[in-house]
Amino acid sequence: MLDSAPQRRYDSGVYAAKHRGRSDQAEIWQNPNRPHEKIGKCPNNMTEAQRQTLLNEAIEYLNHRASGKIILYVVHNGVIYAGRITNKEQNTFHGYPYCGNLPKNIYTKLKAMAERKDCSEGFIEWVQNHISISG
């Protein structure tokens, strides 16, 4: 019998205020005093059930550059979200709208996910505005 991995669970934790937006749209906030600092802000109407669903749908990526840490990626309404583990033993993650570099193989999987979810147009716009694709 194979052991199944424990279900991922959402954890807003200490990041709740940092990643909670003021509108019903995901956005990337740029600190005017630190132009390199960009923070993904979630829609203020995203429910716990939606967060959990996104965790369940997310694609795992083992980031070798970050000491083998797992990053989750998922598309929702055209927006790319990333999830970082907050507690390995409890398999909890915190997610937020993502901007930055994305491996090409993850981009390809997310593009297919956007097509399945019928949000390709928003996905393309998000990628053009917030994502750079690498190798």
CA atoms of 82 and 26, how far apart (whole Å): 13
pLDDT for 11 equals 79
Q: Write the pLDDT tens digit of every residue in 31-42.
A: 888 888 888 999
4 occurs within a structural domain: no
Report field, pTM of the whole predicted structure over 0.75: yes
89 occurs within a structural domain: yes
58 occurs within a structural domain: yes
What letter does residue 42 receive in the DSSP assignment?
A: B
3 occurs within a structural domain: no
DSSP secondary structure of 66-116:
GTTEEEEEEEETTEEEEEEEEETTTTEEEEEE--EEEEHHHHHHHHHHHHH
Residue type, 61: Y
36 occurs within a structural domain: yes
Whether 1 has a pLDDT exceeding 80, the answer reads no
2 occurs within a structural domain: no
Q: Which of these ranges, 2-16, 19-33, 111-125, has the smallest mean pLDDT?
A: 2-16
1 occurs within a structural domain: no
pLDDT for 19 equals 63
20 occurs within a structural domain: yes
- Number of structural domains (the chain) is 1
pLDDT for 123 equals 98
Q: Write the pLDDT tens digit of every residue in 33-80.
A: 888 888 899 999 998 899 899 999 999 998 766 566 889 999 999 999
Q: Among all chains, which residue has been given the structure tokens 């981009």?
A: 107
pLDDT for 8 equals 82
Q: What's the domain range around 16?
A: 9-134
- Selection from 2-6, 89-93, 101-105 with the highest mean pLDDT: 101-105
